């Protein structure tokens, strides 16, 4: 398994709404075309309306690289910058869990 957690902070409420629309469009493509993407969950943060957290879990590093190579992901990565004030990425190594093979 290969995973990451990403914290996005949007510039303002309008940027957050536009970012959410971009995320929704991209997420539909991920669901339809990426069998190696096991979990791609997007969360709003209670009490912090401009923050979003993505939790991503891939079958392996190759599945992550296949995800990153998709045109719709490249479009997302390019378009997101206009809406964000910061991005923080944590790379994850699964040690145990429920519902996932460790």
Give me the pLDDT at residue 65, please: 98
**Order of strands across the sheet with 2-10?**
37-45, 48-58, 2-10, 84-92
Give me the pLDDT at residue 86, please: 98
**Digitized pLDDT (tens) for each residue of the chain, 102 residues in all:** 999 999 999 999 999 999 999 999 999 999 999 999 999 999 999 999 999 999 999 999 999 999 999 999 999 999 999 999 999 999 999 888 888 765
pTM: 0.93
Give the structural domain span for 34. Answer: 2-92
Q: Is residue 99 part of a domain?
A: no
Q: Is residue 69 part of a domain?
A: yes
Q: Is residue 40 part of a domain?
A: yes
Q: Is residue 98 part of a domain?
A: no
Q: Is residue 61 part of a domain?
A: yes
Q: Is residue 52 part of a domain?
A: yes
User: How many domains does the chain contain in total?
Assistant: 1
Give me the pLDDT at residue 85, please: 98
d(C-alpha 22, C-alpha 55), whole Å: 17
CATH number at residue 75: 3.30.70.100
């Amino acid at each position: 398994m290969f995973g990451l957690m990403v914290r996005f902070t949007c510039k303002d409420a309008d940027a957050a709404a536009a970012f959410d629309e971009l995320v929704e469009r991209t997420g539909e493509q991920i669901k339809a075309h990426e069998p190696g993407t096991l979990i791609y969950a997007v969360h709003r943060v209670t009490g912090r309306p401009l923050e979003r957290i993505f939790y991503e879990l891939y079958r392996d590093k190759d599945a992550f690289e296949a995800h990153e190579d998709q045109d719709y992901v490249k479009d997302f990565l390019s378009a997101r910058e206009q809406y964000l004030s910061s991005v923080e990425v944590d790379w994850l190594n699964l040690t145990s869990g429920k519902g996932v093979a460790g």
